[in-house]
């Protein structure tokens, strides 16, 4: 069995059998492609059905020099999933990742921004900058407001559609991981900035495939994930923010600020689209002073 055929079959399995999103599928496939590249670089001729544990271990040791514990764990997990699929389909008898332990990663607390930092980021947007008489700054402001006020993942943001906006009811429909949909409240302020962007959007010659996509580039196509990262990175640089941030930082800040202001953890879970509340509970560890204040306010024997 050739690597290319194995990957195609694996992709089909992840999509049809496991119902994973395209982003998740690409992430799993990248893990296998890293192994293939290693084999090519070291002139190792081994098929996916014949490769043994010693070769996989050599690969893991080689790449681990440039990866932190969390990335190492993610890589091992991805490879284990691939070879488990091959075993499941009877392409091979054993999984070479069996008994290879992942490094201990602990629980990483999310980075967050203060409300003042977020205000500074948004204020740094150049609203006068335009392409073909289209004021892209209005789009960027609407993007940051939406990420922060609705707690969206970057993939959810770039796939947000005009038909997902239910402003009269005060909600947007969000398609999350595994194509699961949820309704998220949206504030009047964010609605206002999206409406301003929609006025600019009418000036764009939109590509046929993106007629319903909310956020577009000036050429009329859907934005990429990389573009959202670049917008936020450039704004952080403009205000001399001494933090490495990403779109996910705004999502973390959304959850943290809600919790600090007394929001119910279950409500935050629903808005973030977490399947398990244990995922949301990580925000309980971000601000221990907030937990102390809750105890002092509500416990009968404080």
Domain architecture of the chain: domains with CATH: 3-88 (1.10.150), 115-295 (1.10.443.10)
Backbone angles phi, psi at 46, to 5 degrees: -145, 135
Kindly report the CA angle at 151 between 172 and 73, in degrees rounded to 5? 130
The position carrying tokens 């007629």 is: 211
For 212-244, write each residue's pLDDT tens digit.
999 999 999 999 998 999 999 999 999 999 888
**CA 197, CA 181: separation in Å to the nearest integer?**
24
Cβ atoms of 97 and 87 within 8 Å: the answer is no
Active site residue 12: no
**69: its two tokens:** 């514990």
pLDDT on residue 68: 77
Q: Which of 13, 148, 193, 283 is catalytic?
A: 283
Catalytic residue among 53, 173, 182, 274: 274
On whether the pTM is more than 0.75, the answer is: no
Residue 185's beta-bridge partner residues? Answer: 171
251 a catalytic residue: yes
Tens digits of residue pLDDT in 13-26: 898 878 788 888 89
Residue 116 has pLDDT above 90, yes or no: yes
pLDDT band, very low/low/confident/very high, at 287 (cuts 50, 70, 90) = low
Q: How confident is the model at residue 106 (pLDDT cuts 50, 70, 90)?
A: low
For residue 112, name the pLDDT band (cuts at 50, 70, 90). Answer: confident
Is residue 182 annotated as a catalytic residue, yes or no? no
Give 296: exposed, middle or buried? Use CB within 10 Å, 0-12, 13-18, 19+.
Answer: exposed
pLDDT for residue 286 is more than 80: no
Instruction: Choose, from 53, 173, 248, 290, the residue flagged as catalytic.
Output: 248
Strands, sheet with 171-175, edge to edge from the N-terminal-most edge strand: 165-166, 171-175, 181-185
Considering the candidates 80, 139, 153, 252, report the single residue annotated as catalytic: 153
To the query of whether residue 274 is one of the catalytic residues in this protein, the response is yes
> From CA 154, how far away is CA 229, in angstroms rounded?
9
Catalytic residue (choose from 177, 218, 225, 233): 177
Is 153 in the active site?
A: yes
Mean pLDDT of the region 68-80: 85
* The pLDDT of residue 121 is above 60: yes
């Amino acid at each position: 069995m050739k690597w290319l055929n194995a990957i195609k079959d694996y992709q089909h399995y992840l999509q049809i059998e496991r119902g994973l999103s395209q982003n998740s599928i690409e992430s799993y496939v990248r893990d296998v492609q890293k192994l293939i590249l290693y084999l090519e670089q070291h002139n190792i001729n081994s098929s996916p059905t014949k490769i043994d544990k010693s070769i996989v271990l050599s690969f893991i040791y080689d790449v681990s020099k440039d990866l932190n514990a969390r990335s190492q764990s993610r890589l091992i997990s991805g490879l284990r999933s691939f070879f488990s699929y091959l075993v499941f389909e009877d392409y091979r008898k054993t999984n070479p990742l069996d008994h290879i332990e992942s490094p201990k990663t602990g629980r990483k607390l999310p980075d967050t921004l203060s409300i003042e930092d977020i205000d500074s980021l948004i204020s740094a947007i150049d609203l006068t900058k335009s392409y073909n008489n289209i004021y892209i700054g209005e789009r960027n402001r609407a993007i940051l407001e939406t990420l922060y006020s609705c707690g969206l993942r970057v993939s959810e943001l770039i796939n947000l559609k005009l038909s997902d906006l239910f402003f009269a009811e005060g909600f947007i429909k969000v398609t999350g991981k595994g194509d699961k949909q949820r309704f998220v409240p949206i504030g009047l302020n964010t609605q206002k900035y999206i409406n301003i962007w929609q006025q600019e959007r009418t000036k764009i010659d939109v590509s046929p495939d993106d007629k319903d996509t909310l956020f577009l580039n000036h050429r009329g196509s859907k934005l990429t994930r990389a573009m959202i990262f670049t917008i936020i990175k450039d704004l952080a640089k403009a205000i001399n923010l001494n933090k490495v941030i990403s779109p996910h930082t705004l999502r973390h800040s959304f959850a943290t600020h809600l919790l600090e202001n007394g929001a119910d953890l279950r409500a935050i879970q629903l808005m973030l689209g977490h399947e398990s509340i244990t995922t949301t509970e990580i925000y309980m560890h971000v601000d221990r002073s907030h937990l102390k204040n809750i105890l002092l306010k509500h416990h009968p024997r404080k």
